[in-house]
Amino acid sequence: MIAKHRLRPIALALVAAASVVACGSHEWLELNPEVDVKAPTFRLTGEVHYVDVEGGIFTIQSTDGTTYNPVNLPDSYKVDKMAVEADARVRTDLVSPAMVGPLVELLRIRATGH
């Protein structure tokens, strides 16, 4: 059973994501990464997943099987099973108690509708 205080953020995220998907927009959402981080960028294609660990986190399961832990996933993309494509970079200078996969900073992201 999920407590009521945990349902509200999930419901808000679902409404926000539904509006992104309903618009049919597959436009890139540009994010504001930290400019002083020197790490190569890569294209990430996969699916967002909610993981009930450490109070709940959203990960991106890439098509190559790697699970990434995005440090700046926008609320409107925090929807379980949403297909996404993103440009990202690994952040080895950060840590997470969840330990589900490499931490990545998203530079831009879009829903792919797949």
pLDDT in tens, 23-78: 445 788 888 766 667 788 999 999 999 999 878 999 999 999 999 999 999 999 99
Q: What is the mean pLDDT of the chain?
A: 82
pTM to 2 decimals? 0.72
3-state helix, strand and coil shares in percent for the chain, rounded to the nearest 5: 20, 35, 45
Residue 54, pLDDT score:
79
Go through the domains of the chain in sequence order and give each one's CATH number.
4-111 (2.40.50.500)
Rounded mean pLDDT, 94-99: 86
Could you give the percent of the chain with pLDDT greater than 70? Answer: 73
CA atoms 34, 39, 44, 47: torsion sign: negative
